[in-house]
């Protein structure tokens, strides 16, 4: 690899070459900054941290020159959704409601952990306003553009959200790893629509310290990457206890990257019932192929899945509305109209509704845990369909008209309440020519099994090379 190599090398390859002296971290950063400059059409970035990245790269090069050991992600550029605090900057969270906030005093834990492993923060990325959306279309910052194209078409398509810019930069090969958050599917939906890998870890597994909150009882942070091995390396680096997240599980580091292949895929089953329809034919084919690859013969149903999705709506609206109640009353003009109306409605929900939703959450979680006791991982579709053109309000899938802003998260939101770890891997649909994804659902704190199954699917063809802009 040389300084003129493509910008979409894997994180592991970059780190190995920096450690071996085959390339300087400074050259990697300049290459990535150049790629960012050529990717403005994606509208994926809210702030480029060029000076910080160059200083960080120079420090890594100096450590290498002096013979000091380097971390597992040495010299790897990464991006972070603009709800991760970056010291010295206001955390935008895709909203004018944050304009008057003070700059962050310190980095988010996830950024600090990745940089401790040698990674280099390159940019903060676009997102749906306040993380409340599934499409990547934002009132303040505009729509993020999916690098993927269908059959040579130039029609811009959504990335999915709310981790839209992070997914777009990985899919375009500009960074091999990016940070996202997932409340109802905000890592998994953009991973599926952009053709990359994503991980929503177990609720509480990774620290959310220094992130802009949305729904405290549902918020997760997680990585997006071009491949499962890089996903695992990033996940390992993000582990560690923090005093900044009161719900973080008190567990030590449990690395998974070194045993990803050797462990072999665990037994698998298929989620049926609610998860069977509506599905675009390409998504149905992907789920079938994933089940065949993992030998998933048993079908499992979660009778409360549909009701669980409704409960997720209630909890999301109620907690999000409560969080922003004061600002909604004092400066409503700073919120986009769609988000403002939903948050206002959430702030008015009866407490009895929220109580019933939490009860249903416990019941659905019990159903899923019982199913996972019999089968270590379960396969489900990630989205009902591939990415649709920007601005689409409704689309027909499998004979059913879907409201895309809500229903693109049909299958992620139904599982969010349970808090279990879920990975997404993708393939290119034969009919659409666009990425489609499957979810790999696992037992609590068994990210090792989830990622081992995801890696097995990748070896079976669930992978899509980055699509650099030309």
220 forms beta bridges with 182
181 catalytically annotated:
no
Catalytic residue among 7, 163, 164, 186: 186
What are phi and psi for residue 310, nearest 5 degrees?
-60, -40
Task: Give the number of other CB atoms < 10 A from CB of residue 315.
Answer: 25
Q: Is 430 exposed, middle or buried (0-12, 13-18, 19+ CB in 10 A)?
A: exposed
Of 39, 252, 242, the C-alpha closest to 146 is 39
d(CA 237, CA 257): 10
81 catalytically annotated:
yes
Tracing tokens 């591939």 back to the chain, one arrives at: 386
Question: Which 3 state secondary structure label does DSSP give 339?
Answer: helix
Task: Give the number of other CB atoms < 10 A from CB of residue 236.
Answer: 21
Residues 6+ apart with CB under 8 A from 341: none
Task: Give the number of other CB atoms < 10 A from CB of residue 10.
Answer: 18
d(CA 198, CA 224): 4
In 195-324, alpha helices (H): 228-238, 281-294, 305-323
d(CA 218, CA 204): 10
R_g of the chain computed on alpha carbons: 21
186 catalytically annotated:
yes
Catalytic residue among 162, 163, 164, 432: 162
Catalytic residue among 7, 26, 81, 432: 81
Task: Give the number of other CB atoms < 10 A from CB of residue 115.
Answer: 19
Write out the H or E segment, with its range, that includes residue 18.
Answer: helix 11-20
Catalytic residues: 81, 162, 186
């Amino acid at each position: 690899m040389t300084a003129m190599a493509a910008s979409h090398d894997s994180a592991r390859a970059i780190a190995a070459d920096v450690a071996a002296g085959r390339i300087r971290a400074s050259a990697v950063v300049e290459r990535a900054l150049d790629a960012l400059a050529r990717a403005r059409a994606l509208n994926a970035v809210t702030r480029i941290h060029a000076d910080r990245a160059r200083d960080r790269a120079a420090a890594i090069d100096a450590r290498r020159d002096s013979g000091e050991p380097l971390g597992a992600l040495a010299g790897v550029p990464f991006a972070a959704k603009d709800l991760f605090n970056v010291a010295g900057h206001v955390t935008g969270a895709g909203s004018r409601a944050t304009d008057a906030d003070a700059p962050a005093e310190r980095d988010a834990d996830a950024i600090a952990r990745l940089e401790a492993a040698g990674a280099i923060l390159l940019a903060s990325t676009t997102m749906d306003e306040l993380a409340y959306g599934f499409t990547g279309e934002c009132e303040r910052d505009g729509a993020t553009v999916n690098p993927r194209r269908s059959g040579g078409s130039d029609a811009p398509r959504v990335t999915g959200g709310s981790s839209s810019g992070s997914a777009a930069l990985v899919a375009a090969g500009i960074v091999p790893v990016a940070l996202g958050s997932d409340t109802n599917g905000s890592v998994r939906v953009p991973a599926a629509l952009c053709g990359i890998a994503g991980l929503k870890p177990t609720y509480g597994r990774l620290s959310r310290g220094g992130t802009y909150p949305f729904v405290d009882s549902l918020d997760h942070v997680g990585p997006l990457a071009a491949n499962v091995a890089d996903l695992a390396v990033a996940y390992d680096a993000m582990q560690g206890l923090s005093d900044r997240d009161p719900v973080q599980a008190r567990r030590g580091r449990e690395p998974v990257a070194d045993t990803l292949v050797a462990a072999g895929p665990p037994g698998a089953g298929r989620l049926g019932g609610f998860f069977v329809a509506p599905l675009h034919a390409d998504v149905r084919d992907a789920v079938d192929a994933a089940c065949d690859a993992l030998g998933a013969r048993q079908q499992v149903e979660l009778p409360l899945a549909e009701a669980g999705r409704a409960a997720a709506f209630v909890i999301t609206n109620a907690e999000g509305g409560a969080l922003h109640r004061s600002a909604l009353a004092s400066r409503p003009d700073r919120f986009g109209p769609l988000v403002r109306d939903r948050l206002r409605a959430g702030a008015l929900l009866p407490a009895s509704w929220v109580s019933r939703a939490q009860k249903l959450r416990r019941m659905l979680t019990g159903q899923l845990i019982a199913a996972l006791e019999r089968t270590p991982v379960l396969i489900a579709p990630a989205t009902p369909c591939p990415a649709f053109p920007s601005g689409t309000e409704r689309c027909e899938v499998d004979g059913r008209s879907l409201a895309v802003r809500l229903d693109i998260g049909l299958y992620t939101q139904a599982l969010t309440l349970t808090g279990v770890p879920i990975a997404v891997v993708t393939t290119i649909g034969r009919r659409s020519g666009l990425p489609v994804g499957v979810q790999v659902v696992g037992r609590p704190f068994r990210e090792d099994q989830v990622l081992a199954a995801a890696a097995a699917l990748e070896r079976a063809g669930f992978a899509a090379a980055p699509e650099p802009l030309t």
